[in-house]
Amino acid sequence: MLLYIHVPFCRSKCRYCAFVSRPLDMAEVEVYAAALPLEIRHFGKKLGRPKVETVYFGGGTPSLLPPWALSRLMPEINKHFDLHPAVEWTFEANPDSALDVEYLKILASYGVNRISLGVQSFSDAALTRLGRPHNAKTAMAAVNAVRQAGFVNLSLDFIWGLPNQREGAWLEDLKMAVRLRPEHLSCYGLTLEPGTPLAADAEAGGLELPTESEQGRMYIHGAEFLEEQGYLQYEISSFARMGFQSRHNSGYWEGRDYLGLGPGAVSTLSGVRHENPRDVREWAALAKTGRCGAGGVALTREERVREYVMLSLRTAKGLRLSIYRRLTGIDFLKENESLLTALRQKELIRLNNGHLRLTKNGFLVSNLILERLRY
């Protein structure tokens, strides 16, 4: 099982962000730190101290949790879950809250062995436009702090396709990132989420975004550059040195069971999906009364098949045709014969060893491909 813990607090809401997050409020941190151990104990007991292969603290900004809060939360995880001896334990951080080497050593003392830093860009102008609370100098200082604290598994997050960004600027970001020698890189295309300030700017005509063809070149040339530097692309947005693929994220894409704790966290266990309330105090009230995880909706066969197709085609491994046939009783190749022939001719897909895989160009238009496939 995978364990995800959501920490909803941020210094401020970034202008592109649609995640469950809220400005840091120490009174709410108190509420959170009191309720999360209750939720951990509840599920530890309910699931019989389940085996956990990966732990992931996401946000929000988990690195804003003060040491006193960590002391309440972290021991409970080891106590109520059976962690695999080689557990991958990731902790997300923003550069401005990952500068304290002693704080990072505290994380390591609890078992955290992987840090994911939200760098997003090395352009100070771009960071300002995104509403990020750090600059390039701070990002590089945070990388140094993570290394000084002894971490040997570091992931850096970036966003491409930014306002006013050109291909050369994106490749410069990647060159600088590679010089820092992280074990893992996540590179996400900018998405204008409805209701965010950045989306409002775009609707008002106040953003100059790269054209579709420019974005295509950014993606393809960026991916090719990273592979030249020894980073294997194992998913649409994910690149890693050999042996450093995110086991937690890979588990999601493989359809493994996952338990989500904290406000707004989602779980899928034995085909039943549940989402926690997003409001911190509403979620905490459920945790205190032992009603965590009540309800949930069983996924239909059609939903399970749809998720398998969508998630597997995100990965370099691709869709395993025998699994699809076992789930549906249908031959995927025959069901989509004419479309797949056209996609192969355009070099958007590959078929080999019983797998259907998207090429880099296929990844670039994956949403369009998924819309046209029959499954």
Check residue 12 and give its pLDDT. Answer: 86
13 confidence band (pLDDT: 50, 70, 90): confident
- Is residue 302 classed exposed, middle or buried when 0-12, 13-18 and 19+ CB atoms within 10 A define those classes? exposed
Work out the average pLDDT over 100-114.
98
Work out the average pLDDT over 89-109.
98
- Characterize 106-143 residue by residue with b for buried, 16 or more Cβ atoms within 10 angstroms of its Cβ, and e for exposed: bbeebebbbbbbbbbbbbeebbebbebbbbbebbbbbb
Lowest mean pLDDT, pick from 51-65, 123-137, 183-197, 280-294: 280-294
Check residue 223 and give its pLDDT. Answer: 98
Please give the Cα distance from 317 to 335 (Å, whole number).
21
Check residue 292 and give its pLDDT. Answer: 81
Please give the Cα distance from 129 to 127 (Å, whole number).
5
Question: From 3.40.50.300, 3.40.50.2020, 1.20.1600.10, 1.10.10.920, which CATH number describes the 301-372 domain?
Answer: 1.10.10.920
- What percent of the chain is predicted at pLDDT more than 70? 100
Q: What is the DSSP letter of 152?
A: -
Check residue 189 and give its pLDDT. Answer: 96
308 confidence band (pLDDT: 50, 70, 90): very high
Work out the average pLDDT over 274-291.
94
18 confidence band (pLDDT: 50, 70, 90): confident
SS3 call for 298: strand
Counts for the chain of helices (H) and strands (E), in that order: 16, 17
Check residue 22 and give its pLDDT. Answer: 85
**Which residues have CB under 8 Å from 108's CB, separation 6+?**
149, 150, 151
SS3 call for 209: coil
Span 26-71, pLDDT tens digits: 999 999 999 999 999 999 999 999 999 999 999 999 999 999 999 9
User: Pairing state of beta strands 184-189 and 154-160?
Assistant: parallel
User: Pairing state of beta strands 82-93 and 51-59?
Assistant: parallel
pLDDT at residue 293 tops 80: no
Q: What is the DSSP letter of 263?
A: T
149 confidence band (pLDDT: 50, 70, 90): very high
Check residue 205 and give its pLDDT. Answer: 84
The mean of the pLDDT values for the chain is: 96
Work out the average pLDDT over 15-30.
91
Q: Tokens 């965590």 label which residue? A: 292
Please give the Cα distance from 69 to 64 (Å, whole number).
10
Does the pTM of the predicted model rise above 0.85?
yes
Span 227-252, pLDDT tens digits: 999 999 999 999 999 999 999 999 99
Please give the Cα distance from 323 to 128 (Å, whole number).
46
- Is residue 361 classed exposed, middle or buried when 0-12, 13-18 and 19+ CB atoms within 10 A define those classes? middle
Span 173-207, pLDDT tens digits: 999 999 999 999 999 999 999 999 998 988 888 88
139 confidence band (pLDDT: 50, 70, 90): very high
Check residue 100 and give its pLDDT. Answer: 98
User: Which CATH superfamily includes the segment(s) 2-253?
Assistant: Aldolase class I (3.20.20.70)
**Which residues have CB under 8 Å from 28's CB, separation 6+?**
9, 22, 280, 281
**9 - beta bridge partners?**
22
Q: Residue 128: what residue type?
A: T
Backbone angles phi, psi at 183, to 5 degrees: -80, -20
Whether the upstream peptide bond of residue 290 has omega within 30° of 0, thus cis, is no
Check residue 20 and give its pLDDT. Answer: 84
How far is the CA of 39 from the CAs of 29, 33, 56, 261, 353, in angstroms?
A: 15, 11, 16, 7, 44
- What percent of the chain is predicted at pLDDT more than 90? 91
- Directed axis angle between helix 167-179 and helix 212-228, to 10°? 20
Contact call for residues 127 and 166 (beta carbons, < 8 A): no
CA-nearest of 116, 233, 217 to 171 is: 217
Lookup: tokens for 92: 């997300």
Check residue 182 and give its pLDDT. Answer: 99
Domain ranges, ordered by start, for the chain? 2-253, 301-372
- Characterize 35-73 residue by residue with b for buried, 16 or more Cβ atoms within 10 angstroms of its Cβ, and e for exposed: bbbbbbbbbbeebeebebbbbbbbbbbbbbbeeebbeeb
91 confidence band (pLDDT: 50, 70, 90): very high
